Amino acid sequence: MVLTHIFKFRIFYEPTHSFFVYRYKSYNMKITANMANNFIEKQYNNIIKSPNDKREYRGLLLNNKMKVLLISDATTDKSAAALNVNIGYLSEPDDLLGLAHFCEHMLFLGTEKYPEKNDYNKYLSQNGGSYNASTHMDHTLYYFDVHAEKLRGALDRFAQFFIAPLFTEALTDLELNAIHLECEKNIANDTWRLDQLEKSSADPNHPFSRFATGNKETLDIIPKQKGINVREKLLEFHNKFYSSNIMALCVLGKENLNELEKMVVELFSQVKNKEIPVPTWPKHPFNEQHFQHKWYIVPIKDIRSLYIIFPIPDLREHYKSAPAHYISHLLGHEGEGSLLSLLKAKGWCNSLGSGKRLGARGFSFFVVFVDLTEEGIQHIDDIVLLTFQYINMLKRNGPIEWIYNEYKDVANINFRFKEKSYPCDYVSGLAQILYDYPIEDILIVEHLFLQWKPDLIKCIMEFLKPENVRIHIVGKLFENISDETEKWYGVKFKKEKISPDIINKWINAGLNPDLKLPPKNEFIPEKFDIKPIGDKTSKFPVIIEDTSLIRLWFKQDEEFLIPKANLFLDFVSPLAYLDPLSYNLTYIFVLLFRDALNEFAYAADIVGLKWELTNSKYGMTLGIVGYDDKQRVLLDKIIDKMLNFKVDRKRFAIWKENYSRSLKNYKAEQPYQHAVYYLAVLLSEQIWMKDELLNALSYLTVEKVENFIPQFLSKIHMECLIHGNMTMSEAIETARLIESKLSNAIPHIIPLLSRQLILHREIKLEDGCHFLFEVQTKYHSSSCTQIYCQTGLQSTESNMLLELLAQILSEPCFTTLRTKEQLGYIVFSGVRRTNGAQGLRIIVQSDRHPKYVEQRIHTFLNSMLQNISSMTEEEFSAHKESLAIRRLEKPKQMTTLSSIFWNEIVSQQYNFDRANIEVAYLRTITKDQILEFYKNILQNDIQRKLSVHVISTLKDQNSNNSNNEKAVESNKNTEQSNEINNTIEYKKIDDILSFKISQNLYSLPKPFTDVPRKGVHSSKL
């Protein structure tokens, strides 16, 4: 696999009221179409785009030197914009770590033109929009999307961030708390921990080595000790670096290019050009003293990984030839003769990836990542040796043009049939690269390989040598040898110089006869014709084959018109979830099957023909998506392999151990993930818990798996959806081929009865009860509170009442609990749906005790009753329209539409036109209906409520706290105890099973359309 790797800081929040104003000069500027040219230095109208792309593009260089890309899409239902400021945390001062990230947060807290605390977020929320921002090493990205009719208002508010932000003094301390909570959230996250250790191990004089997120220590305690005014430094940072000449803006709207141009010129010409140079860092953060070392790193979770890291230069100027792609394409290959195949054969790894990892302007990295087995972590030097042997093979052969031509041709095909992205994703991706590449080529960067430059490939290969290597090995077994601790995340590690003997062994690695270049790819599609549309076309999938063994749904594509097809195939069996062992047998088979087929199927994967086999409570699901030309070849191989599968004992042991670790590692997940998990456990009719699955692993053997597979396949019903560039006759032929292969290989298949294909149901909470389930976590300093208000079965009416209520609550919930009360960095409110039932839930991950947080949530929920009562009809209608916009957003890609169809099929609801039907009802809802619906949720005697409290014990166990820290924590706990008013009456759940058997079950929702039950129908008695 080819790796791309970017770390960023993300912020989901909204502004609060401002008191002290830092004054920027802002003015309203009205520009006519003719006047717009006076603010434009250059226009670009020859932007290269995909033949399948019907949008129109125009590039601009404004007089203030801002680069702009305009995208006109008359059919879009969402507009979007992104602005990238080419300054990141590498440019912040040494004595204020996290200042760039803090500046990103503060920009949302009101502007001179729109000073209200939540104007930006409220406007987007009421107009079907969303927003976010992220801070990187050398750039900071801001972006949003909104209803296509509301772009002008959103863009005006957005532009003010860069023209006249308030930087409210009174809110600086408040938002600093959000920064700190964001940092705390990541303290036990291994990805963040490993990233920071890599930074901390670099040249301390290089800004790459800094701690970038920031926390109270770096942005409050230390600055106060040094007499630094953080707010003044924030203003100074923004005033110095937020300059139009290093900004890049991308805007997508339904307006034509001239209208978009006028809008952008009017709003963004006001951004001041401070004429600052874009900073670059030509000196690499790693030098000779950092090479030829190993870092033995202790993770939080039980994971085992190897990172082989080389320094390489910034290659952005070589985007047309992309020399590093040639190397990563081969070094990360997974087919026959690959490094991965040899490592798997030796039992040393499960997966491998390689690729260029962007640093900042001036430097990059090339990384080989290996997921290690128990045996593999004992053979680090051997794995590195094999890696250098593969690199030597590449060097000996030299760059080979047919390999370049092959991946170039695949890229050309993918670009030719490139589908739309969602507007927000599209503009944010383009804005990040817009500054660094010619505007004319901006759509082909990283998509096309236009130049064959073998000398450049050779040049990059020369960086991949033992003299330049850094080795990071991650594993729990290093806990006893670790002798250092990283400052910011507390990562334990041991640094060791690699002996000259080992380095010389790698230098003289030579060649390995088992490592070979990949063969030519037989899966590259050759036929791209769009199949003729049949006479019996329908707007939605229809059943065209229905036997006791298989039901086939079919929909020929008439919308996207690309040479691709999507196939989903459910293998439903009552054996899949019979008991924990049965689930484990199904799961381990899926792991082993994917592992065994990977070498063959990787060739299909890299040309865009992708497959996946997953398991569920009901069995297994096979998905194949991509070009239809060679899809049958892949399907034949998958089915044949499944029917004749032999378990590899060595791989079985490896994957069983891997599965065991994954079950154990769940305890280290975020508290909010535990809250979500336990709610599912409490409310599902049938669910095996992770400790039950773990206990059942001791009974899992090779023999049991080999016996289980034919048993599973002998008691199944298959349901299939084929959607895309395929005719009805081809679809029927495909289904019959599957059925025939199965019937021939498994002679005594027992078709399932209809009642064996009924879905699981949901626990119905007792009326008038508020249940509480508590669980502890020792891995995170934060706790989590989840409140779930169950509302009933899904139906058109109840779905829209619940979704509209969630829409109304969403923005004030975030503003109140996250921004104003600062209860936690993670605050979520929304709809929960499962097993046909649904309800409203609120999740807050906080350093406060869950009982206190729950009180604040209840106070908020009760206050919203008055809020809704006093809401004007105009405001109420705006919420309805915002929800309608979101629900009616058209799928941008065929796989998205296929997934919508498939979800209706597997849920057995069959409401394929759900969005239009439900929105039609939504528009009839009155405020009185919503009030009545909401009152029923809150009313004590009829409420059905369940709270899950995940309580952190980490601080109680942390014996390393200083006495002062303990005293502060003790005082804080005392304050919280005083704040907790135990007025909420709970029914405490002490035993999950006892609770579940004491409750009733919901019925299943009735199918929207009258579809015959699948499977064998028993005679009526």
CATH of the domain at 327: 3.30.830.10
Q: Are residues 735 and 833 in the same domain?
A: no
Distance of CA 710 to the CA centre of its chain: 36
Q: Are residues 75 and 94 in the same domain?
A: yes
Q: Which helix (H) or strand (E) holds 626?
A: strand 619-627
Kindly report which listed range (429-438, 529-538, 635-644, 895-904) carries the lowest average pLDDT score.
Answer: 529-538
How many residues belong to the chain?
1021
* Angstrom distance (rounded) from CA 885 to CA 129: 9
At residue 588, the 3 state secondary structure works out as helix
| CB 215, CB 97: distance < 8 Å | no
pLDDT score, position 373: 98
The answer to whether the Cα torsion of 216, 218, 221, 227 is positive or negative is: negative
Domain that residue 830 falls in: 763-956+980-1001
Asked if residue 790 has pLDDT above 80, the reply is: yes
In a domain, 179, yes or no: yes
In a domain, 970, yes or no: no
SS3 annotation, 895-906 = HHHHHHHHHHHH
In a domain, 776, yes or no: yes
| Helices and strands counted in the chain (H then E) | 33, 29
Q: Are residues 417 and 551 in the same domain?
A: no
Q: Are residues 577 and 710 in the same domain?
A: yes
Side-chain-side CA neighbours of 885 within 13 Å: the count stands at 24
796's tokens = 């058109």
Mean pLDDT for 207-232 is 96
Instruction: Tell me the sheet residues that pair with 308.
Output: 368, 471
CA dihedral 667, 679, 938, 1001 (to 10 degrees): -170
621 pLDDT band (50/70/90 cuts)?
A: very high
The answer to whether the Cα torsion of 358, 360, 364, 368 is positive or negative is: negative
- Percentage of the chain beyond pLDDT 70 is 93
pLDDT score, position 13: 26
* Angstrom distance (rounded) from CA 410 to CA 525: 9
* Angstrom distance (rounded) from CA 661 to CA 659: 5
Q: Are residues 120 and 79 in the same domain?
A: yes
In a domain, 477, yes or no: yes
Asked if residue 16 has pLDDT above 90, the reply is: no
Q: Are residues 479 and 557 in the same domain?
A: no
971 pLDDT band (50/70/90 cuts)?
A: very low
Asked if residue 969 has pLDDT above 60, the reply is: no
The 10 Å Cβ neighbour count of residue 749 is: 17
Q: Which residues are catalytic?
A: 104
Q: Are residues 416 and 502 in the same domain?
A: yes
Q: Which amino acid is at 917?
A: I
Q: Which helix (H) or strand (E) holds 157?
A: helix 151-159
Q: Are residues 496 and 579 in the same domain?
A: no
Mean pLDDT for 612-634 is 97
Asked if residue 169 has pLDDT above 60, the reply is: yes
Asked if residue 981 has pLDDT above 70, the reply is: no
The answer to whether the Cα torsion of 802, 804, 806, 809 is positive or negative is: negative
| CB 350, CB 373: distance < 8 Å | yes
Where a domain ends, among 214, 239, 269? 269
Which of 401, 88, 392, 85 lies closest to 244 in space, CA to CA?
85
Q: Are residues 740 and 806 in the same domain?
A: no
| CB 30, CB 164: distance < 8 Å | no
1 pLDDT band (50/70/90 cuts)?
A: low
In a domain, 123, yes or no: yes
Locate the DSSP E strands across 762-819.
Answer: 763-764, 769-777, 783-793
When computed from its CA atoms, the radius of gyration of the chain, rounded to whole angstroms, is: 29
Mean pLDDT for 150-166 is 95
pLDDT score, position 750: 92
Where a domain ends, among 508, 531, 553? 508
Tens of pLDDT along 410-426? 999 999 999 999 999 99
Question: Which residues contact residue 214 at a Cβ distance below 8 angstroms, ignoring those fewer than 6 apart?
Answer: 97, 98, 99, 101, 102, 179, 183
Kindly report which listed range (158-172, 518-532, 586-600, 843-857) carries the lowest average pLDDT score.
Answer: 158-172
Helices (H), 201-229: 216, 222-226
Instruction: Tell me the sheet residues that pair with 43.
Output: 60
Where a domain ends, among 699, 732, 755? 755
Q: Are residues 468 and 379 in the same domain?
A: yes
pLDDT score, position 109: 85
Kindly report which listed range (316-330, 373-387, 523-537) carries the lowest average pLDDT score.
Answer: 523-537
DSSP 903-964: HHHHTT---TTHHHHHHHHHTT--HHHHHHHHHHHH-TTT-EEEEEEEEE-HHHH-TTS-HH
In a domain, 27, yes or no: no
Tens of pLDDT along 27-45? 455 555 556 678 999 999 9
- How many domains does the chain contain in total? 4
Mean pLDDT for 108-130 is 90
**What's the whole-model pTM score?**
0.93
Instruction: Tell me the sheet residues that pair with 724.
Output: 556, 565
pLDDT score, position 34: 59
Q: Are residues 163 and 305 in the same domain?
A: no
In a domain, 1006, yes or no: no
pLDDT score, position 168: 84
Q: Are residues 877 and 993 in the same domain?
A: yes
In a domain, 634, yes or no: yes
Asked if residue 700 has pLDDT above 80, the reply is: yes
DSSP classification of residue 464: -
